[in-house]
Amino acid sequence: MTDSHAPAIEAIGLTKRFGDFTAVESLDLRVQTGTVVSLLGPNGAGKTTMVRMLATLLRPDSGRARVAGHDVVSEPDKVRRVISLTGQFAALDKNLTAAENLRLMARLRGHGRIAARTIAGALMERFDIEAIGDRVVKNLSGGERRRVDLAASLIDMPQLLVLDEPTTGLDPRSRQVVWSTVRDLVAEGVTLLLTTQYLEEADALADRVVLIDHGREIAAGTPAQLKARVGEQRVDTVVTDAAQLERLDQALSASFATSVARDQRTVSVPAPNEAADLTRVAQAIRESGIAVDEVALRRPTLDDAFLALTGRPVNADLDGEADSAHEPITHEVAR
């Protein structure tokens, strides 16, 4: 059976190429049982490829990975027994109802007809989807599908739950619902590997964050450690007239370490003292007499993390093949 002392995930030098394109390059990952680890990175960073290798859906080109002590290549069946993967796009049969999906998954996991019905009922109650249980999945909203999807992942409480971008494309309210569900699971002791494009999400849910890009690890640590390196808060100022950008930069650089995003007409400065720094920026702008559209305090995003940790913006050279970019890159700017 499962070696209870083995880490939930132990991957060493995992590599996957698609033709000439290296999706994941020599990536190490260790997830201790009972913890939440987040793989954070932009579209095309290799997150999905990594997750699919761990879930036995893709064979690594080199490197080794063990899930709960079982090798993903030589013992895939044992891995599949302890892992539950919720992919980026709802892994449900869209022509079946929510309840039919849950019952089918339960039966495929070896439960009898009656047991499957009981399990599906309990999960629907728990995820508050009883009202939509008899609706065909293709007619559900994105948030509703996600909840059914999560429920399907928990038919047999997995030792390791893998969520691939669980909130990408969801509205903020549905995102909150998913987050609170994930927090409940974590409280029950589920080991979780979570991929996300949102720094905020990794911060909210993970014990440990691994930042990856182009299939390589860029940084790793607790959210607090990463944020300490990235900077807690920033104040962004958008000038009305792009020609005034240089002047504003000069005005602010007297007392701040500025960075300029020319195409967004924005001068950004770190604001560890939050409101106090915001006031100082506003003061400096007033004294300079430069017209601005917006001055805003904002929390760091994935872009900031990349800039701080790699010195270059996210997706400096864009390649979406690895994670099969189904949607445009959207980076939430939390204001």
Partner 1 sequence: MNATTISPPRAVRNSRAHGARRYVTDTLLLTGRSLRSIPRVPERLLDVTIQPIVFILLFLYVFGSAIHVAGISYKDYLFPGIIGQSLAFGIIGAGVATSSDMTEGVVDRFRSMPISRLSIISGQVMGQFCEALLGIVITVGVGLALGWDPHLTALHAVELVALMVLAIFAFTWTGVLFGMLVRSPDAMQGMGFIIILPLTFMAGTFVPIAGLDAVPRAIADWDPISALVAAVRSLTQGYPSSGSWQLDHPEIAMALWCLLILAIVVPLALRRFNRMLAG
For 165-205, strand residue ranges (E) read 191-196
194 binds partner 1 (CB under 8 A): no
Q: Distance (Å, rounded) from C-alpha 203 to C-alpha 197?
A: 11
Of the residues 93, 130, 217, 232, which one makes contact with partner 1 according to CB under 8 A: 93
Encode burial over 203-238: b for 16+ CB neighbours within 10 A, e otherwise.
bbbbebbbbbbbbebbbbeebeebbeebbebbbbbb
Of the residues 74, 95, 255, 330, which one makes contact with partner 1 according to CB under 8 A: 95
Please, which residue, 74 or 279, has the CB nearer to partner 1?
74
59 binds partner 1 (CB under 8 A): yes
Of the residues 6, 26, 64, 91, which one makes contact with partner 1 according to CB under 8 A: 91
10 binds partner 1 (CB under 8 A): no
Q: Which stretch binds partner 1 (CB under 8 A): 55-63, 244-252, 260-268, 270-278?
A: 55-63
Of the residues 21, 62, 108, 294, which one makes contact with partner 1 according to CB under 8 A: 108
Strand, coil or helix: what is 256? coil
Shortest spacing between CB 32 and partner 1, in angstroms: 8
Residues 131 to 150: which contact partner 1 by CB under 8 A? Answer: 136
Q: Distance (Å, rounded) from C-alpha 227 to C-alpha 243?
A: 33
Shortest spacing between CB 334 and partner 1, in angstroms: 22
71 binds partner 1 (CB under 8 A): no
Shortest spacing between CB 264 and partner 1, in angstroms: 35
Q: Distance (Å, rounded) from C-alpha 119 to C-alpha 102?
A: 8
Q: Distance (Å, rounded) from C-alpha 164 to C-alpha 301?
A: 19
Residues 197 to 256: which contact partner 1 by CB under 8 A? Answer: 207
92 binds partner 1 (CB under 8 A): yes
The alpha helices in 28-96, defined as continuous H runs, are 47-54, 76-82
Q: Distance (Å, rounded) from C-alpha 263 to C-alpha 153?
A: 43
33 binds partner 1 (CB under 8 A): yes
**Residue in the block written with tokens 């007619």:** 139
H or E element in which residue 157 lies: none
240: DSSP letter: S
Half-sphere exposure (CA, 13 Å, Cβ side) for 140?
Answer: 28
Q: Which stretch binds partner 1 (CB under 8 A): 85-93, 125-133, 218-226, 286-294?
A: 85-93
Site size toward partner 1 (CB under 8 A) is 50
Of the residues 9, 11, 36, 150, which one makes contact with partner 1 according to CB under 8 A: 36
Q: Which stretch binds partner 1 (CB under 8 A): 156-164, 223-231, 265-273, 311-319?
A: 156-164
Of the residues 29, 40, 83, 235, which one makes contact with partner 1 according to CB under 8 A: 83
Q: Which stretch binds partner 1 (CB under 8 A): 81-89, 261-269, 275-283, 303-311?
A: 81-89
Of the residues 109, 117, 135, 216, which one makes contact with partner 1 according to CB under 8 A: 109
Residue 314: name the closest of 325, 305, 322, 323 by CA: 305
Residue/partner pairs of 179-185 with CB below 8 Å, 24 or more apart: 179/204, 179/205, 181/127, 181/147, 181/150, 185/154, 185/161
Shortest spacing between CB 13 and partner 1, in angstroms: 18
Q: Distance (Å, rounded) from C-alpha 324 to C-alpha 41?
A: 14
**Binding-site ranges for partner 1 (CB under 8 A):** 16, 33-36, 52, 55-59, 77, 80-85, 87-96, 100, 104-105, 107-111, 115, 136, 152, 156-159, 186-191, 207
